[in-house]
A and B are shown apart, each in its own frame.
Chain A
Amino acid sequence: MQLQLTAMIDIFSMIVIFLILGSVFGGTELILPPGFTLPASYSKESVESAPQLYISSTEAHFAPLDLRIEAGKFGDPESEATKAHAKAIGAYVAGLPQAQVSSGLLLNVIADKAVPYRDIFNIVRTYRAAGFQTVLFVTTGKSTSGAPP
């Protein structure tokens, strides 16, 4: 008697198609520029998949648009360079799918540990005004707790 496999193949085909359509593939890749050192944190939260903003002591680099600007420029929100940068970021946000924007737009901030708070605050303020609702500071993990390294 020949084994009847048709039914099983049908069901498995449907399950495979269902799983393929229902899966969300997402990877988070961080490429640290040379000379970049991330601060350490005890936070247990993992990195989310989001547009990446690199901040060094000299410049801010928005990776999705390959947009670079001098970090100190953000101190003056009325300067032409800052306005042009904010406009480009605003256009990028406006071009994103509405579902992604309405669910809360994330921004990964990857900053060198020596960047002064003034630059961090000014840059983050500009990006929040452009439409990024949640800012995530990317750090390296520390397994122990109690005090900074």
Chain B
Amino acid sequence: MSNTFFEKPHRRHVSELNIVPVLDMLTTIIFFLLLSTSFMEFNKLTVPPAQVSTITDPVAPPPLQPRLAVTRVGASYQVLLTWAGPVPGSVKQADVASAQALFTVLSKVVKEFKVRFPSESTLQMGLGRDVPFEDLIWAMDAVRESISDIVLYSPEEAEAEMLKMGATPGET
């Protein structure tokens, strides 16, 4: 009885707050924010008064716009490479016997063009209307050994260019 009387009253147990996960998360977030923040700096730029100048001698030469036409006559192929510019020119190769020979001829012709005009990086290419897709891929493979950018143009234009240069336009 006396023990019960003098016993300390029960106090509610309050557990200690575990803040370790919160600290972990906040540390991670701070690192993430620090790394993903980009700091910007404003500068002042003084622009001089406007002036007008005329350049009579162009610094960069105009593009040559090389065009490569490939048409098929029977089982053989014709190749025509033309370019514009101050000194326009062309290379024609007829009677290319097979697709394998076409790959070799195209590779050689375009490589020589690239050696002559190293700044040219784009070539327009057009094939005859009945040239199969497989030959287009081979032609692109051959051209891309030297020139990476290829723009395709229509078969009608390719055949017209062949006709203009005195070659057979291709099968119809």
List chain A positions with a Cβ less than 8 A from chain B.
Answer: 4, 6-7, 10-11, 14, 39-43, 55, 111-118, 120-121, 124-125, 137, 139, 147-148
Contacts and interface: CB of A to CB of B under 8 A. Distances in A.
B130 interface: yes
The contact size tier of chain B is: 20 to 34
Given A14-B25, A124-B152, A148-B99, A117 B141 contact: no
B80 interface: no
B169 interface: no
A148 to B, nearest CB: 4
Which of B18, B103, B130, B134 has its CB near the most chain A CB atoms (within 10 A)?
A: B134
B24 interface: yes
Given A121-B155, A148-B99, A7 B133 contact: no
16 contacts: A4-B20, A11-B28, A39-B133, A41-B140, A43-B144, A113-B133, A114-B133, A115-B133, A116-B130, A117-B133, A117-B136, A121-B155, A125-B154, A137-B137, A139-B137, A148-B103
Main SS class of interface, A: mixed
A41 B137 contact: yes
Contacts, number: 78
Nearest to B99: A148
Contacts of B79: none
A14 B152 contact: no
B137 A117 contact: no
